[in-house]
Amino acid sequence: MQVSFAIHGSTGELYGDGAAIWYVQDRAQPGPVFGSRDYFRGLGIFLDTYSNHNGPHAPVLARDWELQVSFAIHGSTGELYGDGAAIWYVQDRAQPGPVFGSRDYFRGLGIFLDTYSNHNGPHAHGHPYISAMVNNGSLHYDHDMDGTHTQLGGEHTGCEVRFRNKQHETQLLVRYVSDVLSIYTDILGAGKWQECMSVAGVRLPTGYYFGFTAATGDLSGK
């Protein structure tokens, strides 16, 4: 597995908490150590972006921002894999839950990298699929419907991205400028961005936190 990332903003050194890569006995054990359990069995590699000795973890203060993520996902189960991962810009940080490893009824933005179709019936798209959701804390993410009824921009606003078992990293760019949320991908490793989705009129407050979570289901590779 290969994971790399880049985070950009206009607030200088104010960012946190961090991330972790795990090789552990028990999977999907939420907790206080960068989103996972304490007293684990195995290996943890920590990417700590903020010092606890200097005060509270800092939220994102920039009005406009851009986030770039590079990742690689590999497995041996062909087309049967799930559940997926999510990129977050939310009010409450480190809140484990059922939505790709984070809480339901969140406040803020969730960008979902959904690797498996849970939809019972005909679907308008294949998987893996990238979509987004803005929530004020009152909306439920429905896994059985793959979140289509709360999807930002409507059910058809998103894109299929075949990012599993690539020989290179998949690049994902999230840009929020002047209330326009845009997502771009580079799945060919060619250094060229392709628009996945763009939605205007998206109102996101400042002072929220970035996060990244992932979850596996019964259909997951090794």
Instruction: For residues 72 and 47, state if they share a domain.
Output: no
The verdict on pTM exceeding 0.75 is no
Instruction: For residues 171 and 212, state if they share a domain.
Output: yes
Q: Which of 160, 161, 131, 126 is nearest to 148 (CA)?
A: 131
2 vs 155, more confident: 155
> What would the pLDDT profile of 122-145 be if each residue is shown by its tens digit?
556 667 889 999 999 999 998 777
Instruction: Identify whether 221 is part of a domain.
Output: no
Instruction: For residues 89 and 193, state if they share a domain.
Output: yes
Instruction: For residues 29 and 113, state if they share a domain.
Output: no
List 135's β-bridge partners, or say none: 108
Q: What is the 3-state secondary structure (H, E, C) of 122-157?
A: CCCCCCCEEEEEEEECCCCCCHHHCCHHHCCCCCCC
Instruction: For residues 84 and 135, state if they share a domain.
Output: yes
Instruction: For residues 80 and 97, state if they share a domain.
Output: yes
168 vs 208, more confident: 208
Instruction: For residues 42 and 63, state if they share a domain.
Output: no
Q: Is the pLDDT of residue 26 over 60?
A: yes
Task: Supply the CATH number for residue 122's domain.
Answer: 2.60.120.200
Q: Are 30 and 101 in contact (CB under 8 A)?
A: yes
Instruction: For residues 211 and 135, state if they share a domain.
Output: yes
Q: Which of 159, 195, 200 is nearest to 177 (CA)?
A: 200
Instruction: Identify whether 192 is part of a domain.
Output: yes
80 vs 133, more confident: 133
Beta strands in the chain (DSSP E): 3-8, 18-24, 30-33, 36, 42-48, 65-71, 83-90, 96-99, 102, 107-114, 129-136, 159-160, 170-177, 180-186, 194-200, 209-216
Instruction: Identify whether 115 is part of a domain.
Output: yes
Structural domain range at position 17:
1-55
pLDDT of residue 40: 66
> What would the pLDDT profile of 149-161 be if each residue is shown by its tens digit?
899 998 888 888 8
**How many angstroms separate the CA atoms of 184 and 194, rounded?**
5
Instruction: Identify whether 194 is part of a domain.
Output: yes
Q: Which of 59, 14, 17, 9 is nearest to 177 (CA)?
A: 9
Q: Is the pLDDT of residue 51 over 80?
A: no
Instruction: For residues 143 and 162, state if they share a domain.
Output: yes
Q: Are 54 and 32 in contact (CB under 8 A)?
A: no
> What would the pLDDT profile of 162-193 be if each residue is shown by its tens digit?
777 777 778 899 999 999 999 999 888 788 89
Instruction: For residues 80 and 40, state if they share a domain.
Output: no
Phi and psi of 135, rounded to 5°?
-130, 140
* 172-189 b/e (C-beta count within 10 Å ≥ 16 → b): bbbbbeeeebbbbbbbee
**Structurally, how many domains does the chain consist of?**
2
